[in-house]
Amino acid sequence: MNDNKVVVTENLVKDYQIARNEFVHVLKGVNLTVNLGEFIAIMGPSGSGKSTLLNVLSTLEPITSGDVFIAGINIKDIPITETLKIRRTVSSIVFQNFALIPYLTALENIMLPIILRGESHETAAAIAHKLIQQVGLAPRSSHLPEELSGGEQQRVAIARALAHNPQIIYADEPTGNLDTKTGLEIINIFRNLAHNKNITVIMVTHDHEAANRADKIYLLQNGKVKELLEKGENK
């Protein structure tokens, strides 16, 4: 596989069993290729399978059938140890609700995954300081999440996602709880990460303005990627 292709799905199917002989077919043969350093947006109506697709790509949910390659690894039927390794070393997730630990400061939230991978407190603090500076939030490093605005909390979440140098960041409605101006500031951080740090960003969103800042927009409809929406103003 081309080393530049960091996410590839081939006829990806995802079903949910809701009764003994009854299934809901959510993803019905998704074919998608995302390259290193690319920032893509996935749009679609509610119930189209956007979040399910993100959950499968991020290894949070198993595949029903088809193949999914993440950084060259086919994640279908891999053992849980390999799944956890991918989450620790290859990809990170940024959520709509930020998912910060409320009793930890901004800096401590960023430090946590670094400590969990076995680094010392001093090393974790040094790395976290650099990351919080990278997202422009160093003056707020000692504040608890409740003392931060929504945009500031999302910046902390992005810094935390960068803590293990991921190749891929999955962003699930990252501007959903933010006003338009703040949301676009967050999108610009993702663009910078993709274009200047060569990190692939795959974003699910309902926000057309945010999506239009991505390199490509994919439409997920009826469980399939139906078309690539061309756009020109941000090329």
Query: Which residue stretches of the chain are H helix?
Result: 50-57, 80-89, 106-116, 121-134, 150-161, 180-197, 208-211
Q: What pLDDT does 231 receive?
A: 56
Task: Return the pLDDT at 34.
Answer: 95
CB atoms within 10 A of CB 147: 12
pLDDT, residue 122, reads 95
Predicted pLDDT of residue 234? 42
pLDDT, residue 20, reads 81
Instruction: Residue 234: name the closest of 198, 200, 190 by CA.
Output: 190
What pTM did the predictor assign? 0.92
Query: pLDDT per position in the chain (235 positions), as tens?
Result: 457 899 999 999 999 988 888 888 999 999 999 999 999 999 998 888 999 999 999 999 999 999 999 999 999 989 999 998 898 889 999 998 999 999 999 999 999 999 988 999 999 999 999 999 999 999 999 999 999 999 999 999 999 999 989 999 999 999 988 999 999 999 999 999 999 999 999 999 999 999 999 999 999 988 898 766 655 444 4
Partnered with residue 12 across adjacent β-strands are: 30
